[in-house]
Amino acid sequence: MRIGLLGGTFNPVHRGHLEMALGAQRHLLLHRVLWIPAHVPPHKRMEGNATAEDRARMVQLALRGHPGFELSRVDLDRPPPS
């Protein structure tokens, strides 16, 4: 099984993220793409009021209707920083 990993702050998740992931899925023949929102990114300050849980929910909503795309909580459920 071929699995791709897509990590980021997704603040907010947008069509560019989806297009990039769809292109990678198609080009690399990926069975699954795991989307991994950063809990607390060490390299930049988070803008706005979206919490990690808010961003995870946004990702989850964006992935509806995209077979093989899945939210991973691997970074959200560990202590910060990411």
pLDDT digits (tens, 9 = 90+) for 37-73: 999 988 888 788 899 999 999 999 999 999 999 999 9
Does some domain include residue 55? yes
Residue-level pLDDT at 64: 97
Does some domain include residue 20? yes
Domain range enclosing 18: 3-70
The percent of residues above 90 in pLDDT, for the chain, comes to 84
Does some domain include residue 77? no
Does some domain include residue 82? no
Helix-strand-coil percent breakdown of the chain, rounded to 5? Answer: 30, 20, 50
Q: Which whole number is the average pLDDT over 27-35?
A: 98
Does some domain include residue 17? yes
Question: Count of domains in the chain?
Answer: 1
pTM exceeding the 0.85 threshold for the entire prediction: yes
